[in-house]
Structure 1
Amino acid sequence: MSEKAGIPVAAVGAFVWHEDRLLLVRRGKPPGEGELAVPGGRVQYGESLQVACAREVFEETGIRVSVGDPIYAFDSIERDEAGRTESHYVVVDLQARSIGGTLQAGDDATEAFWLSIADIKQLPPEVLNEHTERALRKLGFL
């Protein structure tokens, strides 16, 4: 469904772990263009959260994953200067682990890489996507 119809868009994010490192992408499109975030995107009609999560991770990073349970959820609402809603996403983050593939940025990710929590803590605040940062804090990693 679309933002124009006044319906929030369902989306997923993936907290993919491999050897104590988290998979992050540099977003190539708004919202959050240029920021580092967990891979993710829209849920297609008829697709489960787990299937959407695995598809989005593969499209953006080339990594195949085993998807677990939801671990965090949030609204992402963008408004214009007049306060009108431009977009509204309801995002469910799921835990996942890498089971194969070759790391390579694709789809709307311009870069993809594995970072340790220690490396993530060293990032300048403006680099990490606010929703990814908030989830990492709520989950006790930051």
Structure 2
Amino acid sequence: MSATPPDRSSREYPNRPWVGVGAVVWRGDKVLLIRRGKAPRMGQWSLPGGAQSVGETVFETAVREVREETGLEVVPTGIVTVVDAITPDAEGRVHYHYTLVEVAAESAEGDPLCADDALEACWATAEEAGELTEWDETRRVILMSAAQRRNPTP
């Protein structure tokens, strides 16, 4: 008897990359981190974010995802960068493949209240975030966003 093949339209073992949007949310000199409640990188500190929906702009996705995961309202301020997040399985097959558009945003007030995919949330300086996060790309994106805030381009 043969096994049922995986659903290639799913996020696991996809037949195409999924577009995800991460939000680098700032309040003063601190960035918002969430502890992920779902794979990939479950349990790790990361930036809030998730999959873009059909008909939704990148900025709309960032605002929605931050609201769903933390209850905070944010104002997007620009694109930081784009990251390829490709996670292989033990046999080398692509288990997850996301193209992540990283959006900078500001949050004026409120405390994060975790919901949806977030187990915890905290505000951290870029240096503290570097110690909490495990994925090099998350650290790189936070530092890149911090540098862009210090030296905005006209």
Aligned equivalents of 1:132 and 1:5: distance in 2? 23
- 1:8 is aligned to 17
1:96 aligns with 2:105: yes
Q: Is the 8 A contact 1:12 1:92 kept in 2?
A: yes
5 Å-filtered alignment, 1:1-142, equals 2-3=10-11, 6-121=15-130, 123=131, 127-139=133-145
Larger strand proportion of the pair = 1
Q: Normalising by structure 2, report the TM-score.
A: 0.80
Aligned equivalents of 2:63 and 2:146: distance in 1? 24
Aligned equivalents of 1:20 and 1:47: distance in 2? 29
Task: Out of 58-67 and 2-11, give the one that drifted further.
Answer: 2-11
Q: Normalising by structure 1, report the TM-score.
A: 0.86
- CA drift at 1:39: 0.5
- The share of aligned pairs that are identical, in percent, is 35
- Structure 2: tracts of 5 or more residues without a match: 1-8, 148-154
- CA drift at 1:101: 4.2
SS of the residue aligned with 2:90?
A: coil
Judged with a 3 Å threshold, the aligned counterparts in structure 2 of structure 1 residues 17 and 137 are, in CA distance, closer, same or farther, namely closer
Q: Is the 8 A contact 2:126 2:146 kept in 1?
A: no
Aligned equivalents of 2:48 and 2:87: distance in 1? 19
Post-superposition CA distance 1:32-89 (Å, at most 9, x none): 1111111001001111000000000011111100012111111111111221111210
* Matched length: 138
